[in-house]
């Protein structure tokens, strides 16, 4: 075999090997994203102060089992869920919007199937019982445009003992007083921790069927102060929120 042919064969072999490695990496990424963890970034302030604009979280796809919405592009392969496991009150969950199956929301599970949910004077009631809510302090949070939002921070304790922070604006808002909402079977009542800055089940969203759940938010793996984005590497030294990295949810 000539030297020219040997070099050509080695070059072809190298190209084939590179293609195989790339295909394998893509398959691993698809499997990881579909069955294990999917990354999401937080673009709005509806879950402040638990999740801030500029947080990046890993969502476990296996926590509630798998529906067609667990798969990229949500192909219509099957109905319902495989290996179904029910969300728990207090979970921070990613789900598809009932009116738009292509849009992802992230909220906290507040009401379980059969629960009666109501807001009265900015206090959450579950099955006619007021959820304990303790004032902590006044805080300043950052909006997407970089401006500041003044709000009151509380700690809320749900009936199963899960505690979490909530925000309430000093100014009265529409979601502070609602009618009683009974959660249908197989559905969940979702609310943002930023009670006066969240479009959730109190409004047009309604209760969310389990089939639309994508997964449970588990950990903040990256966080950067807006308006900076993760791709703005040159801004990392000043704008990365190092105190939030790897915080569990």
Active-site amino acid positions: 46, 107
Q: Which residues, 6 or more positions from 247, have their beta carbon under 8 angstroms from its beta carbon?
A: 219, 220
CB 155 within 8 A of CB 210: no
Rounded CA gap, 215 and 150, in Å? 31
Give, in order, the Cα–Cα distances in Å from 9 to each of 13, 17, 61, 207: 6, 12, 43, 61
Rounded CA gap, 178 and 202, in Å? 7
Q: For 125-128, which contacts have Cβ atoms below 8 Å and span 24 or more sequence positions?
A: 126/158, 126/159
CB 247 within 8 A of CB 220: yes
Rounded CA gap, 193 and 173, in Å? 14
Query: In three state form, how does the secondary structure of 168-233 look?
Result: ECCCCCHHHCCCCEECCCCEEEEECCECCCCCCCCCCCCCEEHHHEEEEEEEEEEEECCCCCCCCH
- Residue 180 tokens read as 């009683």
């Amino acid at each position: 075999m000539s030297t020219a042919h040997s070099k050509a064969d080695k070059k072809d072999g190298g190209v084939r090997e590179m293609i195989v490695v790339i295909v394998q990496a893509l398959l691993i990424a698809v499997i990881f994203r579909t069955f294990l963890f999917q990354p999401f970034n937080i673009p709005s302030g509806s879950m402040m102060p638990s999740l801030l604009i500029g947080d990046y979280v890993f969502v476990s796809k296996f926590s509630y089992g798998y529906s067609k919405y667990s798969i990229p592009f949500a192909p219509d392969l099957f109905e319902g869920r495989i290996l179904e496991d029910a969300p728990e009150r207090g979970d921070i969950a990613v789900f598809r919007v009932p009116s738009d199956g292509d849009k992802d929301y992230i909220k906290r599970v507040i009401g379980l199937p059969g629960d009666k949910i109501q807001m009265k004077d900015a206090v959450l009631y579950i099955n006619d019982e007021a959820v304990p809510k303790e004032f902590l302090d006044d805080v300043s949070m950052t909006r997407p445009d970089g401006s500041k939002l003044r709000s009151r921070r509380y700690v809320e304790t749900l009936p199963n003992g899960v505690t979490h922070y909530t925000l309430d604006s000093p100014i009265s808002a529409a979601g502070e007083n609602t009618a009683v909402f009974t959660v249908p079977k197989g559905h969940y009542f979702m609310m943002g921790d930023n009670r006066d800055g969240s479009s959730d089940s109190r409004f047009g969203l309604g209760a969310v069927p389990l089939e639309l759940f994508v997964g449970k938010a588990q950990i903040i793996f990256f966080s950067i102060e807006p308006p900076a984005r993760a791709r703005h590497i040159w801004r990392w030294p000043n704008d990365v929120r190092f105190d939030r990295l790897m915080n569990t949810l």
